[in-house]
Each structure stands twice: as C-alpha cells, then as structure tokens.
Amino acid sequence: MNQPLPFACHQIGLVHSPFKEKFGIPRQTGLIKGNLGKIELLAPWNREEALNGLEGFSHIWVIFIFHEAIKPLEDWRPTVRPPREGAKRQGVFATRSPYRPNPIGMSVLQYHGWEKSNGKLFLKVSGLDLLDMTPVIDIKPYLPYADQVPQALGGFAHEAPASNLLPVSFSELARQQLLEVQERYPELQALIESTLSHNPRPIHFGNIDQRNDFGVKLYEFNIQYQICDTQIWVVSLFKNSA
Ligand code: SAM
C-alpha cells in the first residue's frame, strides 16, 4: 500500500503590517487604501536568488497561518457565520474564515520589489488584510492568465461587503499629530480614513445612535475615534506604550 510521504510545513517569512490587532483589519485585500507592509524572509529562506524573476510580477499570492485563530481540534465547527450583516451560517469551505481545519489563509498582495535592511531581506507589499507578525509559509506569483476568472460566480459573497462607507473627519489635534509623523508614515491618513470609513465597531455594539469612544491600533498609534450618527470623528492619535 502506498504510504503518503510525511511533510513539514516551514515558516519562510513574517508579515510586518500596520494592523497590530484583528479589530479594524479589512476582510479581504484591496478593500482599503494605505495598507502597506513588508514580508521578512527568514533564514534559511532569506536568499535573494529565491526572488529572481519576481520583479516582473505586480502581484503575489501570500500563503500564511492565521496564528491568532488557532483552536483545539474539539472546537472544530463545520459551519461559520460570515461577518456580513444578516448573513446565514455557511459551510466553512464556502467561506474565507480564519477558523478552519488548518488555519491557512491566502491573500493576493501587490508586490513592490524587495529591499535589504540591517542584513534582513524584505518584500514590499500593499493591500494587506493581515495581522502584524503573521507567519508566512509560501509566496507565489499571481498569474493573470490562470488566476483571473472574469466569469466566476461569487456565491453569497458576490459583492464587497461595505457599500455604505462613512465619511471620516479629523479633529485639530489629530491633524496636528498626523503632520508630525507624516514624513515617517506618509500613507497614515489614507489608512486611517479608509479603515474607519468601514465603520469598525466591537460586535456587541450593534447599532448605536449616541457618541461612543473607540480605538484602533495602527502602527504604534492607538487611533481614538467616535462614531457620531453617520460619520466618524477622529479625536487623536495616541502612541501605544508597548
Ligand atoms: N485573504 C485571506 C484569505 O482569504 O484567506 C484572509 C481573509 S480573512 C477573512 C481576513 C481576516 O482575518 C482579517 O479581517 C482579520 O480579522 C483576520 N486575520 C488576519 N490575520 C490574522 C492572523 N494572523 N490570525 C488570525 N486572524 C487574522
């Protein structure tokens, strides 16, 4: 009888993302702007030759581990509730939920070349929907001729979820703080605006009609904001102490 060969799954890289917590991360790539980051290749896979030829590709598939969604086997459920409003439970294999038999995810990210810094090798990417420190297990080029399927059907998820984006305004203090860090984070304002326009709020809040204070962690900042009726008001950018 043929026995399958045992295999090992190596962590080849590490994601450096502005998203320091799951709250506020877009549900998929390409939904927001300013979500730039890097993938650090780890030894012994941090060889420049391993990236030869990738310069001609605009996008890459990043295969990774949902390291903050790992549950014991006995907690396995065959269905999950998609985070769309009013969505019914669906079979886990009909969703892109992080909670699956193997916590493996895949994202198509825009590739902006690689760089070396302090002896480390990084791929520059944008369109991240990944938490900081996410382990990467593979990188492959996105092949338009094979991966793009214009006539594909999207099932219950045929449209991007957020069609009712909220306008985002900044307090004088927040504007001043943005100016102070603009040189280091030129895309921070765009990242805050597009992250918050998707109206992130803790699940238990449901619909709220009064002012509430929220915070979302982006880079080393804790962005304090309020949801006022149908708009978002950014109060300030605090530096995280950690
Ligand atoms: N594009 C990928 C896919 O389809 O496999 C990810 C989609 S998944 C719905 C995206 C969500 O996973 C994010 O909104 C965030 O809440 C969560 N997430 C991202 N990185 C994670 C990680 N390392 N561990 C656990 N959850 C993570």
Under CATH, which architecture does the 13-157 domain have?
Beta Barrel (2.40)
Answer yes or no: is the C-beta of 98 below 6 A from any ligand 1 atom: yes
Given pLDDT bands bounded at 50, 70 and 90, which one contains residue 132?
very high
pLDDT score of 130 more than 60: yes
Most confident residue range from 23-32, 36-45, 195-204: 36-45
CA 163 to ligand 1 centroid distance, Å = 20
Q: Locate the domains of the chain by residue range.
A: 13-157, 168-239
Residue 171: how many CB atoms within 10 A of its CB? 15
Return the residue whose CA atom lies nearest to atom 12 of ligand 1: 98
CA 69 to ligand 1 centroid distance, Å = 9
CA 157 to ligand 1 centroid distance, Å = 16
Helices (H), 107-226: 144-147, 172-180, 188-197
* Selection from 8, 37, 81 nearest residue 191 by Cα: 37
Instruction: Write out pLDDT tens, residues 174-217.
Output: 999 999 999 999 999 999 999 999 877 765 555 555 557 899 99
Beta partners for 137? none
Contact call for residues 61 and 106 (beta carbons, < 8 A)? yes
Residues near 201 by beta carbon (within 8 Å), at least 6 away in sequence? 208, 212, 214, 227
Contact call for residues 27 and 198 (beta carbons, < 8 A)? no
Q: Tell me, which fold does domain 168-239 have in CATH?
A: YaeB-like fold (3.30.2310)
Kindly report the average pLDDT of the chain as a whole number: 91
Q: What is the pLDDT of residue 206?
A: 54
Contact call for residues 96 and 64 (beta carbons, < 8 A)? no
pLDDT score of 228 more than 90: no
Answer yes or no: is the C-beta of 66 below 6 A from any ligand 1 atom: yes
Rounded alpha-carbon distances, angstroms, from residue 71 to 68, 94, 99:
9, 19, 8
- Strand duo 120-126 + 135-141: pairing: unpaired
Answer yes or no: is the C-beta of 130 below 6 A from any ligand 1 atom: yes
pLDDT score of 221 more than 90: yes
Same CATH topology for 13-157 and 168-239: the answer is no
Most confident residue range from 54-68, 206-220, 226-240: 54-68
CA 35 to ligand 1 centroid distance, Å = 14
Calpha distance 29→68 (Å, rounded): 18
Q: What is the pLDDT of residue 162?
A: 53
Q: What is the pLDDT of residue 6?
A: 82
